[in-house]
Structure formats: C-alpha cells, structure tokens
Amino acid sequence: MATGEPQSWQRNVWALSLVVFVAFVGFQSFSPFLPLYIRELGVTDPGRIALWSGLLSAVTPAISGVLGPLFGRIADRFGRKVMLIRSLGGFIVIVGAMGIVTSVEQLFLARLIMGFFAGFTPMVMALATVSAPSDKTPVAIGMVQSAQLLSTAIGPAAGGYVASHFGIRYAFFVTAGMCALALVALIVLFKEGRPADPSARRRGGARLPLGSVLRYPHFMVVMSLLLIAQFLDRGLALLIPLHVAHMPGVSAIAATSGLIISVAAVTATVSANLAARLSQGFPVGQLLAIGLVVGGPLCAAMGFAQNWVALLLLRALVGLSIGAALTLAYSLGGLIVPTHERGAAFGWLALGVQIGTAASPLATGALAAASLPGAFIVDGAIAWVGAALLIFGARELRARR
C-alpha cells in the first residue's frame, strides 16, 4: 500500500487533485463547443449537428468503458501511475490532432482513438483509495472529486474566451497544453509506493473477470449507483440550457446557463467535501441514501421553475444534496474491494460511469424532446431508485463504515 509516512498520503492526494484539476480544466475548455466545431467543419443541418454531437460525446466513454477492466488489471500489475502517464500522453497527441482535423469524420476517428487512452478518472480514484489510509479514503476521494467539479466552473469560461478571441481550434491546443502540464505534475509530484504484499500485486495483475468481482458483496449495487450519479450529472447539464432557452425574458441564454452550471459545480464541490468529512462519523451509504432521497424531489421541481433565479436556486440545492454522489459511491467501492485488486475492480466500476456518460445525453435528449418537465421528473425518479437500492437492496452496505 502506498501510504508511507503519515503525511505521505496527503502529499500524494494533493498531487492527484492538482493533476485532475489541470487536466479537467483542459477537457472542459473544448467539450461545450463541440456542436459549434461540428458546424465549423461543414455540417450545417441542425439535425445532423445534433446527431454528430451525440455520437462524438458517446464514442469515447463507450470504448473506455469496454476497455476499463483490462487497463485496470494492467495497472494492478505494472503500476497505476504508469497508466495515468499513458492516458495523459495519449490525450496530448489526440486532443492536439482534434484541433487540426478537416472533417467531422476525422474528428469522430480522433474521439474513437481517444477512448483507447481514456479511463483516467477511475484510475485516479483507485490511486486515491490506495494512497490514503482506509479511514481516510472518503476524504481522499472527496478531494480529487472536488478538483474535478471545480474544473466545471472554470473550464468552459476559459475555453469560451479562447474560442471567441482566437477560434475554436485553439481551445483544443489549450487542452493539449493543460494535459502536458498535468503530465509533468504527475511525474514530479506523485510518488507511488510499493505495495506491502508483492504476491498480492501479482494476483491483482491476473485476469479479473466480472464474475470474480461479483463475489464482493453488493458490487453491482455500487456500479449501479455510479451509473445513476453520472447519468444525473450529465443529464442535468444538458437540461439546464434547454430549460433556460424556454424561459421568457432571458436574452443571454448562454451566459445564464453558464452561471447556473458554475454555481452547481461550486455547491457540488462543497457537498463532496462535506460528505467526505461527515463520513468520518457516519456510514458512507447512509449519507448517499439521504442525499438521493432529498435530491429526487428537487430534481423534479426544476422542471417547473418559472424563472432563471428559481432554477439557479433549485440547481444549487440539487448540487448540495447529490453533488457528492460519485464521491460516496467510489468510497463504497473502496470499502468492498481489497487494495491489490482495486485497479481492475475500479475498471469494472468505471463501466457503470461510462454507461451513464454515454447514455445520459441520448436518453435525456429524447426525454426532453417529448417533455422538458418530464425529463426533470424522470431524473428525480432515478435518484429515488438509487436511494431504494441502498435502503432496501443493500442494507449491510448502507451501514458499513
């Protein structure tokens, strides 16, 4: 285990948080502008732009989700830091190439190849859990998750400035540069220790099929909770601009939507940090169940907000209630999976995250096309499904500390 001296784990977790923040500020600098880039590449029909946007958003997490368990096993065998270096090195080249493509088909190919280097987030989470003492695991995950959430508040604004002053292509070059900075920070600042049991490392490097990880109690519940948390986060990010666009008297739709999303990112960061601290005295599963129960009705209520101020307030409250869902769900994964198999097991858990990432824009878009308030109600119902899984289907997991 890579804990080392008492302060060693804190140094490593701070280093991981910095790497995640820098990298995700870069990712968020170009992601919101993919539809505009598709138009710049020659696709003018709104229907085709929407179709390509969905495909481009889904292909990377789809490939990453399929390959996640494989890369997790390799990380358990050869080291998780090496796999993070592989991811960031690949991102530098591929994202830079995305800035020089000349057709949407080339952009799709670049996004597909990017999936072979993805899996960055679950590997970081696995590293955070093994870097910290077991009783500090939620704190470590909360710090890393907070760094990722804060990037949502900064990245789009930075990318928007670059895109508006220099062109959308330069947003990709900025992202490649941020990934390079994150790579340097990872190599210099993070010190990966040797596992306490070398034989455990060899066992962790062995093949770990889904049937093997299912022997851990409630593994599928944790995977489902990660899927639900990611589905809600991605879905709400899509619904906010659509809802603002339908509100009377709102002229600056993009700016208003950006403000709401940024405030939600801040409250979610507060939620992740607060939940991590509360987990020192309360079971992680109980905190997650309470957040989902409270957040469900708040999600549904957003569909009936009549003005942007009410929508902002409700979205901020949703961020406070379920903003820590990913942090707490990953913490539950750290509780049920032993250290030497955590990379491979988190690769399987990441499959739930990637399914949520890929499915949420497609499902949410279809729901919103039928009924915008109905899409918010469905999100609220999904939050309650997650709470029910913990309350009725995994009582033992809910009570674990």
Confidence of residue 107 (pLDDT cuts 50, 70, 90): very high
- Give the pLDDT of residue 395: 75
The answer to the question of residue 350 being in a domain is yes
- Give the pLDDT of residue 202: 46
The answer to the question of residue 1 being in a domain is no
What are the Cα distances from residue 307, in Å, to 129, 171, 246, 369, 381? 42, 32, 10, 20, 23
Q: Taking CA 76 as the corner, what is the angle to CA 73 and CA 79, rounded to the nearest 5 degrees?
A: 125
What are the Cα distances from residue 80, in Å, to 64, 127, 346? 16, 7, 12
**Rounded Cα distance, 215 and 371, in Å:** 41
For 335-363, what is each residue's pLDDT tens digit? Answer: 877 766 666 677 777 777 878 877 887 78
- What are the start-end ranges of the H helices in 252-307? 253-278, 284-302
**Rounded Cα distance, 206 and 185, in Å:** 30
Residue 347: both structure tokens together:
């690769």
- Give the pLDDT of residue 315: 94
Q: Find which of 190-199, 234-243, 266-275, 344-353 is predicted with most confidence, using mean pLDDT.
A: 266-275
DSSP state of 208: -
**Rounded Cα distance, 288 and 397, in Å:** 11
The answer to the question of residue 12 being in a domain is yes
User: Which of 391, 286, 265 is CA-nearest to residue 332?
Assistant: 286
Confidence of residue 200 (pLDDT cuts 50, 70, 90): very low
- Give the pLDDT of residue 3: 44
The answer to the question of residue 347 being in a domain is yes
The whole-number average pLDDT for the span 382-387 is 94
Confidence of residue 105 (pLDDT cuts 50, 70, 90): very high
- Give the pLDDT of residue 193: 64
The answer to the question of residue 119 being in a domain is yes
CA distance between the termini of the chain = 20
pLDDT cut 90: percent of the chain above it: 28
In CATH, what number is assigned to the domain containing residue 221? Answer: 1.20.1250.20
The answer to the question of residue 2 being in a domain is no
The whole-number average pLDDT for the span 387-394 is 87
Q: Taking CA 357 as the corner, what is the angle to CA 352 and CA 363, rounded to the nearest 5 degrees?
A: 105
Domain that includes residue 230, residue range: 8-190+200-399
Other C-beta atoms closer than 10 Å to the C-beta of 213 total 22
The answer to the question of residue 141 being in a domain is yes
The answer to the question of residue 318 being in a domain is yes
Query: How many domains in the chain?
Result: 1
